[in-house]
Structure 1
Amino acid sequence: MGTLTSEKAGQGQSESAVASYDAVVIGAGVAGLYQLHRLREMGLSVRAYDTASGVGGTWYWNRYPGARFDSQAEIYQYWFSEELYKSWQPSERFPAQPETERWLNHVADKLDLKKDIQFNTRIASAHYDEASHRWHITTDQGEKVEAQFLIACCGMLSAPLTNRFQGQADFKGEIYHTGLWPKTPVDFKGKRVAVVGTGATGIQVIQTIAPEVGSMKVFVRTPQYVLPMKNPKYSAEDWAKWGAQFHQLKKRVRETFAGFDYDFEAGPWADKTPEERTAILEKFWNDGSLALWLASFSEMFFDEQVSEEVSEFVRAKLRARLQHRPDLCKLLIPTDYGFGTHRVPLENKYLEVYLQPNVEAVDCRETPIERIVPEGIQTADGKVHEVDIIVLAVGFDAGSGALSRIDIRGRGGRSLKEQWSQEIRTAMGLQVHGYPNLFTTGAPLAPSAALCNMPTCLQQQVDWISDFIAHVRRQGKTVVEATQEFEDAWVQHHDETAAKTLVVKTDSWYMGSNVEGKPRRLVSYIGGAGTYHAKCDELARTGYPGFDIR
């Protein structure tokens, strides 16, 4: 339980009660739920806050048609309890959003977490007080809270880009952002629908609503390499088999490049004959997962020739599915960037949607969207595409957006939003110099910002943060802050690692290219989740060098 103190609200105003905690957690998604559980287990008084009306994080907000994760159910899991793992049986390999939301509620109920979560509450500001070494936090309802530690579990894709086009408020039909989807189902039957955006989210929406719509116009700017998903149902017997592998899986995912149970084990590209390479690519293509991207040949990330050969292998698969129609192939198959340097979506008959007579792909490179008008979408050629419903699958301010939308101020009143508007920096995505006792998960410059099976990397960060807080408390200290030198060294290592890859040569949300004015830096550490976890473990073993503990 927290304690109550009083605070003068201002001159001439009465004192107001201020709840005081050892720690405050922002967010009740995969990371926030586990962070709350760990801190409570340690005996800390802790309160979590979430803008939503229930738990789930991204799986609460992203309830758009077709939403599902692309990590297999057996590894999209919590690893701190074998009993918890076995207590829930997924229905299929890649469960859809409603099931995932139910699973996270199951976890929260099993651990009795909801009593310590305040829903329907947005954290508006968090200011560090140097005299008391505590964070002073204000909610959007004016409630004031203070805590020694502030742990941000806000999510890496939780700051939707909502006002993307001029005139959105003038549209007389219905308009929806995929990241802010309503709980009430949207009726697409027989409607004229526009979908703006063909990233992973847009693809899921398009393939799902295509059978219902009267007509659909898809506004395509950046084509995607896609992989066909194989999504078999899971029986009780199937899940029992995975449960029997709990400890092996738990260890395995922590060691691999992207936190999955597969890794790059095909051997060097140069050692294979062309026939052997093709056979390996075919095997991973047929797996129906992200394995072709994250377990075939790592050289695709570094070597332009290998990248082109792998990319051409995928392009040939996509051309065949589009019946080799030149118009669709030109618009929907990438040629100006390599496979895997963008986020690779899994899909289910997505390309075949464009072969429907009632579906039109609009080339936004030739005719960009100019504005939204009352009747629909106006493109640069002056044409108005009249529609009844607009679905905006236009993405997020990834990694940094959720934190920079909160007024976070550290030592000397420095503003995180202002700092990150100039340059996005962190110390391993765990702290930011100048912000004592602030810890972050899913933040920039860690694998969890994009390049990881999220539960793997988020749990690792939560465990590391929790163990660090326990260490600080055992030492009888009250403040911990990453040093400038340590942060500088990590940023340099992050940039040097990224510069060796082709990812930094590609415009994508990985590089912040989707947000006007955002500083260009790879949002996620690309040295591998396994490597990152080993570096974190070494810090803990050696007494946390690089952190000022006082």
Structure 2
Amino acid sequence: MSPSDPVTRPEPEADQHYDAVVVGAGFGGLRMLHELRGLGLRTLVVDEADDVGGTWHWNRYPGCRTDSESWYYCYSFSPELEKEWQWSERFPAQGEVAEYLRFVADRLDLRRDIRFGTRVEAAEFDDDANLWRLRTDVGDVVSATYYVAAQGILSAPYLPNFPGIDTFDGEVLFTPRWPHDRGLDFAGKRVAIVGTGATGVQLVPVVSRTAEAVTVFQRTATYVVPSRNHVLEDVQRIELDRDRDAMWKRTELHPMALPYPPSAGRLGVDLDDEERRRALEAGWERGTFRFMFEMFDDMMTDPEINKVVADFVRDKIRSIVTDPETAELLCPDDHGVGSKRPPLGQHYYEAFNRDNVELVSVKKTPISEITPRGIRVGDDEYEFDVIIFATGFDAVTGGFTRVDVRGRSGASLAERWADGPETLLAMAVDDFPNFFMILGPQGPYAILTVVIEHTAQWIGQAIAAARDAGTDRIEARPDAVSSWNQEVLDAVAPTMAVRGSESWLFGANIPGKARVVQQYFGGFHKWLAKIRDESAAGFPHFSRSTSADDTAAGDERRAS
């Protein structure tokens, strides 16, 4: 098994200096490049892929598509881009999202500042020179005053270390590194799908249409809500275009950055059983994240109301899946609705009614080994021609810590976050001057494309403010980082999310990773207000200085 497809790599170049280096050419990296260009900064973007797209470049598995609606899963900074691009579906597939990002890169002429086929392996801050020095896997050393990490929260694939994985005689596929250079035909094949998170939920219905047999290995059942995807008609596009400015304003008021009313306007506790049932049925028919986040305003804080919703979804599963034993295995019994990220599905539960689909629970008896013929679970061995691992990511922090990033003190970001991530507003860390993150840890649990827009703008404002003040160094204050960390912990404490702390939102899917909440559950609208206040006040929670002053102070300290 090869974890990635080969790309054409450039020859190593001599040491180069830029005003800013951005790592990652997905949604975040492209948006950041455009922002930095607007400041007149000479900027380089580096990405290990052979094209733009980020996660939408690598994840090409069957059924891959967004779980956010297309009309806000895009950039909002350019009315021209919005008018020129037309989405075909409510929830676009991977190929269309990748094509959209290629369109943006070409339309804004971004490619000339992107170096593809290059992976950044290490980045170290040179305190004396006030520079970041980034070392790549092709031998380059690139220096820059500002370093923006834009790898995103789902860029570090995780494959459990199953014994015997290299002994399997069939084909092994890994969803985050799906083959790009060849088509795959599952006709006549016995296929295993390991994992039932968002990726597995998308895979199962599609692969089962052509495979001879599909066996799904599930550790944790999840609440899958119907997406109700459909082709966009011209009349709907006209309506969306008319509403666009107001739509973006609505995202700023919503806890999840959704363009819908910020609350359901009702408490489940105030309704009787029949009123709740009617609301739940209407929400199920509507589908999407609106079912989860616009049902009852107390769903995430009142365990009894959450149980009402959970019982409703479990009843839906039992009504869809015809085999009672399979239905019960698909019913979550160890966490509430919304305590783990809810996948959207297209005929996921219905797929288990097919004669060629089997479900195997590995919750009590886990996978013990991969054999030459297939997968062993306890005393049972299942034989396959293909094994697909849909086992997720070292989410939120993994994309940042897999690069050996070292700050002023020489300590690495991975060392700093060994007991859990600590940031200032998800964008900066003390001891790491002139270092910014897009979709960094402790950012809002919300629609990522909307978060990216405001993050890139804010980073641009922070850099511009430092330069306008005649300074070339900006760094988060330690007390401000500690304060934000506490706010992140306080925000999640009263929610149902803590009852799903065995999820990737708490790092629980990675052995040895600290079990700490990795995102901010206080609401996107509150985070947005905080970053705007910080910018308007002149960035009081950051220290600014000139490298000449810092060098002189350092010389004085060394002489004393």
Rounded Cα–Cα distance in structure 2 between residues aligned with 1:321 and 1:145: 56
Q: Which residue matches 1:457?
A: 451
Q: 1:430 aligns with which of 417, 427, 431?
A: 427
Q: For 1:338, what is the secondary structure of its paired residue?
A: coil
Provide the C-alpha distance between the structure 2 equivalents of 1:82 and 1:265, rounded to a whole number of angstroms: 30
Q: Does 1:89 align with 2:86?
A: yes
Displacement of 1:133 in angstroms is: 1.1
- Within the alignment, does 1:266 sit opposite 2:238 as a pair? no
Where do residues 92-103 of structure 1 align in structure 2 (5 Å cutoff)?
Answer: 92-103=89-100
Residue of structure 1 equivalent to 2:526 = 531
Report Cα offsets for 1:319-338 as digits up to 9, x if no partner: 10013x33112211102211
Q: What residue number does 1:346 align with?
A: 344
Tell me the distance in 2 between the aligned counterparts of 1:222 and 1:186.
28
Which residue does 2:535 correspond to in 1?
Answer: 540
Q: Any conservation in 1 of the 2:338–2:496 contact (CA below 8 Å)?
A: no
Shift of residue 163, structure 1, vs aligned partner: 4.5
Shift in Å at residue 388 of structure 1? Answer: 0.6
How many angstroms does 1:342 deviate by?
Answer: 0.9
Tell me the secondary structure at the aligned position of residue 352 of structure 1: helix
Stretch deviating more after TM superposition (182-191 or 485-494): 182-191
Unaligned stretches of 5+ in structure 2?
1-11, 546-560
Amino acid at match of 1:82: P
On the 8 A contact 1:82/1:246 being kept in 2, the answer is no
- Which of 440, 462, 471 aligns to 1:468? It is 462
Is the Cα–Cα contact under 8 Å of residues 266 and 280 in structure 1 kept in the other structure? no
Listed as ranges, the matches of 1:56-455 within 5 Å are 56-183=53-180, 184-262=182-260, 263-323=262-322, 325-379=323-377, 381-447=378-444, 451-455=445-449
Number of equivalenced pairs: 531
Task: Give the aligned residue type for 1:545.
Answer: P
- Contact preservation (8 Å) 2:268, 2:299: no
CA contact (8 A) 2:208 2:356 kept: no
Give distance in 1, aligned partners of 2:365 and 2:215.
14
2:296 and 2:114 mapped to 1: Cα distance?
43
The CA distance in 1 between the partners of 2:368 and 2:43, in whole Å, is: 48
The DSSP-based 3-state class of the residue aligned with 1:403 is: helix
Partner residue of 1:491 out of 485, 490, 510:
485
In the alignment, is the contact (CA less than 8 A) between 1:215 and 1:358 conserved in 2?
yes
Deviation (angstroms), 1:367: 2.4
Query: What is the SS of the residue equivalent to 2:543?
Result: strand
Matched residues in 1 for 2:530 and 2:232: separation?
A: 36
| C-alpha RMSD over aligned residues | 1.3
| Contact in 1 for aligned 2:318/2:328 (Cα 8 Å) | no
User: How much does 1:302 deviate?
Assistant: 1.2
Secondary structure class of the residue paired with 1:17: coil
Aligned partner of residue 173 in structure 2, secondary structure: strand
Quote the Cα distance in structure 2 between the aligned partners of 1:132 and 1:534: 35
Residue of structure 2 in register with 1:7 after alignment? none
- Corresponding residue SS for 2:409: helix
- Conserved in 2, the CA contact under 8 Å of 1:331 and 1:363? yes
Separation in 2 of the partners of 1:301 and 1:270? 12
Q: Determine if contact 2:27/2:449 at 8 Å carries over to the other structure.
A: yes
CA, structure 1 residues 441+353, in 2 after alignment: closer, same or farther (shift >3 Å)? same
Q: Distance in 1 between the 2:54 and 2:325 partners?
A: 39
TM-score relative to the length of structure 2: 0.93
Q: Name which of 488, 493, 496 aligns with 1:502.
A: 496
Aligned to 1:11: none
In 2, Cα distance between equivalents of 1:464 and 1:16: 32
Kindly indicate whether the alpha-carbon contact (under 8 Å) linking 1:257 and 1:294 is maintained by their aligned counterparts in 2: no
Once the 2 structures are TM-superposed, how far is the Cα of residue 76 of structure 1 from its aligned partner? 0.8
Q: Secondary structure at the match of 1:187?
A: coil
Residue 16 of structure 1: how far off its partner (Å): 7.7
**How far apart are residue 189 of structure 1 and its match?**
0.9
- Residue 217 of structure 2 aligns to a residue in which SS? strand
Q: Offset of 1:423 from its aligned partner?
A: 2.7
Deviations 1:389-422 (A, max 9, x none): 0000001000000011001000121111122223
Cα distance in 1 for residues equivalent to 2:375 and 2:389: 12
Report the Cα distance in structure 2 between the residues aligned to 1:369 and 1:16, rounded to whole angstroms: 46
Please tell me whether the aligned partners of residues 231 and 288 of structure 1 are also in contact (alpha carbons under 8 angstroms).
no
Distance, in Å, in 2 between the alignment partners of 1:188 and 1:474 is 59
> Does the aligned pair in 2 maintain the 1:25–1:150 contact within 8 Å?
yes
Find the residue that maps to 1:412 and give its secondary structure: coil
CA distance in 2, matches of 1:17, 1:346: 47
Tell me if 1:38 matches 2:29: no
- Alpha carbons 1:24, 1:149 under 8 Å: kept: yes
Superposed displacement of residue 29, structure 1 = 0.6
| d(CA) in 1 for partners of 2:317, 2:325 | 13
Q: Is the 8 A contact 1:437 1:479 kept in 2?
A: yes
Identify the residue that residue 8 of structure 1 maps to in structure 2. none
Structure 1 stretch displaced more, 244-253 or 389-398: 244-253
SS in 2 for 1:456: helix
Bigger drift between 351-360 and 311-320 goes to: 351-360
Matched, 1:24 2:21: yes
Q: Specify the SS of the correspondent of 2:220.
A: coil
Per-residue deviation, 1:265: 2.5
For structure 1, list consecutive stretches of 5 or more residues without a partner in the other structure. 1-14
Deviates more, 1:390-399 or 1:503-512: 503-512
Tell me the percent identity. Answer: 38
Letter in structure 2 aligned against 1:481: E
- Report whether the alignment pairs 1:479 with 2:480: no
Partner Cα separation in structure 2 for residue 516 and residue 300 of structure 1: 30
Cα deviation for residue 269 of structure 1 reads 2.5
Of 507, 511, 517, the residue aligned with 2:512 is 517
Contact 1:285 1:291 in 2 (8 A): no
Structure 1 residue 100 displacement after superposition: 0.7
3-state secondary structure, aligned to 1:297: coil
Task: Give yes or no for contact 2:336–2:499 (8 Å, CA) kept in 1.
Answer: no
Question: Under a length normalisation based on structure 1, what TM-score does the superposition of the two structures give?
Answer: 0.95
**243-252 or 88-97, which moves further after superposition?**
243-252
- Does the CA-based 8 Å contact 2:321-2:327 persist in structure 1? yes
Residues 102-123 of structure 1: per-residue CA shift (max 9 Å, x gap) = 0110111110101111111100
CA distance in 2, matches of 1:535, 1:33: 24
Q: How many angstroms does 1:220 deviate by?
A: 0.8
SS at match of 1:290: helix
Task: Give the aligned partner of residue 549 of structure 2.
Answer: none
Cα deviation for residue 82 of structure 1 reads 1.1
Partner of 2:553: none
Per-residue CA deviation, residues 161-210 of structure 1 (Å, 9 max, x unaligned), is 13531221111111111111111222111100000000110110111111
* Superposed displacement of residue 505, structure 1: 2.2
Give the Cα separation in 2 of the matches to 1:357 and 1:128: 58
